[in-house]
Structure 1
């Protein structure tokens, strides 16, 4: 079982959800269950409005688990969430991307922090 801690700025309000990996749910679906600023988005990874910053509590897992799809990488780059260097290195395991699209990120058995 993993935990997802949603942290909303500017008040640093935290909401924690414990997730079983079999649930196969996205971060956006979880955010919409909370009094957290769940973004109104297309939900299909086309608009980029649901971009969130993710930090893994287990750094080793972050290094091996984080990969961006080509579409997600391009959209985050165009939205200014990835620098040129991050865009070029997004597929390299030693350089995990911290920005993800909440509608595309499927939560697994991991402990993560999600920043709005």
Structure 2
């Protein structure tokens, strides 16, 4: 089970939720289920409005490294990921700091998901 804490200046306080192991719902779906409003426009990985910063907590290996092709392209167009970071993710399994909530599926890992509340913004 993953423990995910959503952190944003738009929240009254941080919101910590549990993601069930084996669940294939995105972080955006998990946020909505728990009344956390991450800005989003498309749910397809094209617009970048659901940009989040992912901070992994120590103790468990990082598992949700894979980026979709749309996520790579959108994060690059936003200037939030470099070609070197994409290669690190694909070859060395190094998690990039920024993701799209509509594309990112949390696995059995604990993390803090930070977002500004502004479309395309992250802390």
Q: What secondary structure does 1:108 align onto?
A: coil
- Please give the TM-score of this superposition, normalised by the length of structure 1: 0.80
Matched residue count: 115
Which residue of structure 1 lines up, in the alignment, with residue 3 of structure 2?
3
Asked if structure 1 preserves the Cα contact closer than 8 Å seen for 2:68 and 2:103, the reply is no
Going from structure 1 to structure 2, the CA distance change for 1:19 and 1:11 (only over 3 Å counts) comes to: closer
Contact 1:68–1:97 (8 Å) recurs in 2: no
Alignment RMSD: 2.4
Residue 109 of structure 1 is matched in structure 2 by 108
The Cα shift of 1:106 comes to: 1.4
Structure 2's unaligned 5+ residue stretches are 116-123
Pair 1:12–1:58, CA change in 2 (3 A): farther
Aligned counterpart, 1:28: 28
Which one has a larger percent strand, Structure 1 or Structure 2? 1
> CA offsets, 1:49-77, max 9 Å, x none?
11101111137622x64122232112101
Bigger CA drift: 19-28 or 90-99?
A: 90-99
Give the TM-score of the pair, scaled to structure 2.
0.76
Larger CA deviation: 106-115 vs 81-90: 81-90
Q: CA deviation at 1:4?
A: 0.8
- Cα drift, residue 29 of structure 1: 0.7
Note the residue ranges of structure 1 that are not aligned, 5 or more in a row: none
Structure (1/2) with the larger helix percentage: 1
Aligned-pair CA distance for 1:12: 8.1
SS in 2 for 1:22: coil
